[in-house]
Amino acid sequence: MHSMLMECRQLSRSYQDGDRELQVLKDVNLTVHAGEMLAIVGSSGSGKSTLLHCMGGLDKPTSGDVLFAGYAIQDWSANQLADWRNKELGFIYQFHHLLPEFTALENVAMPQLIAGVTTSAAKARAERLLRRVGLAERLQHRPAELSGGERQRVAIARALANSPRLVLADEPTGNLDDSTAEQVFELLLELNEEFDTAFVIVTHDNALAAKLPRTLTLHHGQLAQAES
């Protein structure tokens, strides 16, 4: 059995909405094991993005803990969080968030340069990753010169650039047509097998979620079933 990588304990998040409190997440308990892949599904507004943001240190729980390899991330400074996100996490969003003025190769090299990898090593790894995601012919293209599916493949390669232990993906196929979405999902499944990286994928697409080994359902900010 794989070791525990991330744990949410009694995670709650509420927002102040005028003079009332909006409880978005309520006592969420979940464990992500090293190398596993799981889907989080739930209707719009059920708290999926908020949960992912708390797991990625982009939002802070109102109460409860997010532990990464046993450490409570909310205790870390902004610098520590930024460093952790750069080295240990990858993010994939619905919209690719690639830098428009840079090529695919440069976009994938960027997180490595930030981590202190040399330019030549960063570009070599970026090229390997882009080849792996099927973009050998697109290394020098800028995001505007790529299709939506290709842009998401670049974003996936970028998420894996620093060999993170965990990739958090928020509707990674939400902006793609059905067949492209399925291909991108298949790619994520393959990469999860090949790399020693856990994936947590938020999706509203139950058919795609069903391809993953484990699915958790959020309902009004609570996990619908007990953690397996």
Applying CB under 6 A, which residues contact ligand ATP?
15, 22, 24, 42, 44-50, 204
Pairing status of strand 71-72 against strand 89-92: unpaired
The nearest distance, CB 172 to ligand ATP, in angstroms, is 13
Tokens linked to 181: 């979405």
Complete edge-to-edge strand list for the sheet that includes strand 4-17: 20-33, 4-17, 63-68, 71-72
The nearest distance, CB 122 to ligand ATP, in angstroms, is 33
Alpha carbons 210 and 82: distance in angstroms, whole number: 33
Question: What one-character-per-residue DSSP string does 65-92 give?
Answer: EEEETTEEGGGS-HHHHHHHHHHHEEEE
Q: Which is nearer to ligand ATP, 53 or 141 (CB)?
A: 53
Q: Which is nearer to ligand ATP, 16 or 79 (CB)?
A: 16
Q: Return the DSSP state at 155.
A: H
Q: E-strand spans in the chain?
A: 4-17, 20-33, 37-41, 63-68, 71-72, 89-92, 166-170, 198-202, 214-219, 222-223
Q: What distance lies between CA 4 and its chain's CA centroid?
A: 17
How many Cβ atoms are within 10 Å of 111's Cβ, its own excluded?
Answer: 22
Q: Which is nearer to ligand ATP, 15 or 95 (CB)?
A: 15
The nearest distance, CB 156 to ligand ATP, in angstroms, is 20
Q: Which is nearer to ligand ATP, 47 or 111 (CB)?
A: 47
The nearest distance, CB 211 to ligand ATP, in angstroms, is 19
Contact 38, 169 (CB under 8 A): no
The nearest distance, CB 85 to ligand ATP, in angstroms, is 19
The nearest distance, CB 27 to ligand ATP, in angstroms, is 16
The nearest distance, CB 47 to ligand ATP, in angstroms, is 4
Q: Which is nearer to ligand ATP, 25 or 130 (CB)?
A: 25
Q: Which is nearer to ligand ATP, 86 or 222 (CB)?
A: 222
Alpha carbons 184 and 173: distance in angstroms, whole number: 7
Q: Which is nearer to ligand ATP, 28 or 167 (CB)?
A: 28
